Amino acid sequence: MAKGTFYIETYGCQMNEHDSEKMASLLEGLGLTPASEADKADVFIVNTCAIREKAEHKVYSALGKLTSYKAKNPAMVAVVAGCVAQQEKEKLLKRVRDLDAVLGTHQIAELPAVIEKIKHDRSRIVEASFCSDAGSLHIAAPRKGRSPVCSFVTIMQGCSNFCSYCVVPFTRGPEQSRARTEIISEVKELAARGVKEITLLGQNVNAYGKDRRDGDSFAGLLSNLDQIPGLLRVRFTTSHPRDFDDDLANAMADLGTVCEHIHLPLQSGSDRILRAMNRGYTFPEYRTKIRTLREAVPGVAITADMIVGFPGETEEDFQQTLQALEEIRFDQIFSFKFSARPNTAARRLPLHFEEEIKAERLAKVHALQDRITQEYHHAAEGTVEEVLIEGTSPKSGQLFGRTRTNKIVNLDAANDARVGDLIEVEIVRGLNHSLVGHKIGRTTQDS
């Protein structure tokens, strides 16, 4: 195939970000190089998100630009990948005239062949079936856009939980864990190339191994990864409260590489709504798990996702969500207005809310959580944190990194540190979304 350039526009979660990295590494394998702008690319890919309606709209506006791209560059190959591709399949090809291919979430490995075929005969292609062994699970992509010392590693894909609001089981298929040996060799290779921090990815990472029947567990995987020379930090996302157990709390307490942070989506503080969401736990059960975790791992940072305006959410249910935020005091949350999604059970429930009510509730959640997050950040002033330097901020030119608890720290001026250093930092200021720190020393590294 003639060499050329590619451009990937990515929407959505870290899973998608990493899938884009996988696609980029496949395209680089073909000899293509990244283009500086979309309209200059020979291959243009939109990697899409379907989690909420707003995300899907963004995809269609990105695709709206295709006509002008193709007018300038008729040989361009345009592909839609990701969750909207999986959800819409042929419909996307019909709706977007200039589109050449629709590639489902299990077909990333087919990308080179699809591009070859289009270049060869200009056929229009839809590949979007679920496979029992999704090829994309096995593609290692050793780059994380943000930093040369941090990398994502897929440990499982799909989700079999069917929360009543969620499109993921339909767009990513059933839960499939990747073989432990494959994960370990990918991480060893990354560590040998200088990667110091990995983030294990999956929709439900703490259910890792449950579909494999060979005795693998998430805590077991963490303890294997802890032995890898050169690897300093292990993070993971996303965990499900129902599958959170003492083994994971103990692994987080005992293993030096495992960072003191968990993203454990609560979604609602009302048991009635949690039941309607099919979440599989009550708020008192969630609270007990948090207590266990905080006892095992003092100072652990806990973040969550919350949904407001789920169909039938009464004012009392909503107040319980606010109370839950006050009680748990998450370090940070991501909160969303409920959005009715195709195929999901919640779409068919009665009592959907007007946008206005959802927006009001969301604003109350934001205000409350902003206060709590700021309180944490102010309380951090004067403390000393271990920070892994990830890069230089393009805006300020300052070095930045993260604490073990996943808080972003921008170093103040005159710090003699380099990307990849693990340093001791005194927090000098707590801002709304980040911390400012000053280097006071270097910590010993085991690499």
Binding site for ligand 5AD (CB under 6 A): 51-52, 165-166, 265, 267, 305, 307, 336, 338-339, 341
**Own/partner long-range contacts of 121-126 (Cβ < 8 Å, ≥24 apart):** 124/93, 124/99, 124/100, 125/100, 125/101, 126/89, 126/90, 126/93, 126/101, 126/102
Determine, following the binding rule CB under 6 A, whether residue 240 of this chain makes contact with ligand SF4: yes
Considering only 159, 183, 266, 325, the residue that binds ligand SF4 (CB under 6 A) is 159
26 contributes a contact to ligand SF4 by CB under 6 A: no
Provide CB contacts within 8 A for 294, sequence distance 6+: 300
Q: Residue 203 touches which of ligand 5AD, ligand SF4, none (CB < 5 to 8 A by kind)? A: ligand SF4
| Cβ–Cβ under 8 Å, residues 332 and 303 | yes
Which among ligand 5AD, ligand SF4, none contacts residue 52 (Cβ within 5 to 8 A by kind)? ligand 5AD
Q: Residue 282's closest CA among 264, 292, 269, 265?
A: 269
Q: Assign 151 to helix, strand or coil.
A: strand
Told to check if 335 binds ligand SF4 by CB under 6 A, we report no
Q: At closest approach, how far in Å is the CB of 162 from ligand SF4?
A: 6
How far is residue 17's CA from residue 14's CA, in Å, rounded to a whole number? 5
Kindly state whether residue 264 participates in binding ligand SF4, applying the rule CB under 6 A: no
- DSSP label of 211: T
Among residues 243 and 305, whose Cβ is nearest to ligand 5AD? 305
The contact mask relative to ligand SF4 for 195-234 (x = CB under 6 A, - = no) is: --------xx------------------------------
Beta bridge partners of 426: 384, 438
At 335, the amino acid letter reads: S
Q: Which of 27, 166, 205, 387 binds ligand SF4 (CB under 6 A)?
A: 166
Nearest to 173 by CA among 203, 148, 200: 203
* Min CB(336)–ligand 5AD separation in Å: 4
Least distance between ligand 5AD and beta carbon 338 (Å): 5
CA distances, 312 to each of 196, 339, 356 (Å): 46, 13, 15
**Which are the contacts of 85, defined by CB distance < 8 A and separation ≥ 6?**
48, 92, 102, 103, 104, 105, 128
Q: How far is the CB of 231 from ligand 5AD (least distance, A)?
A: 27
Residue 168 within binding range of ligand SF4, rule CB under 6 A: yes
Query: Least CB distance from residue 207 to ligand SF4, whole Å?
Result: 9
How many whole angstroms separate alpha carbon 80 and alpha carbon 64?
A: 12
Near ligand SF4 by CB under 6 A: residue from 114, 163, 262, 435: 163
341's contact among ligand 5AD, ligand SF4, none, with CB below 5 to 8 A by partner kind, is ligand 5AD
Residues that bind ligand SF4 (CB under 6 A): 159, 161-163, 166, 168-169, 203-204, 240
